[in-house]
Amino acid sequence: MDLARRQFALLFAPQFDKIVDLILKPRPPALDQTIPALREALRIGTDRAVDLSAVANGFFLNQAIKILLPPPIQKFEKGLRVVGLGKKLDEFILSMNRAAERASPAARGIFKDAILAITFDDARQILTGGDTAATDYFKSKTSSKLATAFQPEIEAAMSETGVVRKYNQFEKNLNALRFGRGEEIDLVAYVLAKTMDGIFYLVGQEERKIRTDPAARTTELLRTVFGGLKRNP
């Protein structure tokens, strides 16, 4: 029996201190709640961003996220308007924004899956960051995967609103102004990037509210975690 006890001690003693440490020294509650709180903040931010953007004029009348002409066209905008194509340009701009508005609801589910991937190490780094730290980090880590998932939604919305057809209505005039066919414009990639930028911007604004405005902390978890943060001066 004594031999068995000695063997047991030799086998498990090295781990005993670690086990006791885990039992007696658990992580502080606030840290245990960090990941759920950040996920909740991003989920709420995404829901509100979709609510704001997925309506008529959600993009078009919001100057912070409105999709403008692609840069290769912008430098010829004045000339196109001078030759009487202002209305067609305006219709093209409106069609891109309408596509973004129609595709935005899909962001809710697509972003939800990515939000669940946030790790504890990620959370520790961004909890005490700037007012949009979680959104910025989330964007930097997930944009590529989100774009892949979001692209079919954008393509379908662009088809419905006639983005390419409206572009074709003034493309010949555009090529004449730039003395031949200029650089190819990937309209899908452009509208996709601008739609995601707009949604991320709105998510960031909602995160800012949660961090700075107690009234925006609509759940007990948000009040517990963000209410206890010390803000940088």
pLDDT for the residue 180: 63
pLDDT for the residue 108: 87
Over residues 142-178, the pLDDT tens digits come to 888 889 989 999 999 999 999 999 999 998 888 888 7
pLDDT for the residue 26: 42
C-alpha 154/C-alpha 188 separation (Å) is 7
pLDDT for the residue 5: 54
Closest by alpha carbon to 162, among 106, 102, 105?
102
Helix (H, G, I), strand (E, B) or coil at 43: helix
Is residue 178 within 8 A of residue 104, CB to CB? The reply is no
CB under 8 A, 24+ apart: contacts of 223-226: 224/30, 224/33, 224/37, 225/30, 225/33, 225/34, 225/37, 225/127, 226/37, 226/41
- Give every CB contact of residue 77 below 8 A, 6+ residues apart in sequence: 69, 89
Q: Tell whether pTM > 0.75.
A: yes
pLDDT for the residue 25: 47
Tokens linked to 154: 């954008």
Half-sphere exposure of 90 (CA within 13 A, CB side): 5
pLDDT for the residue 109: 86
Would you list the domain boundaries of the chain? 31-227
Segments of the chain scoring below 50 in pLDDT: 8, 12, 16, 19-29, 233
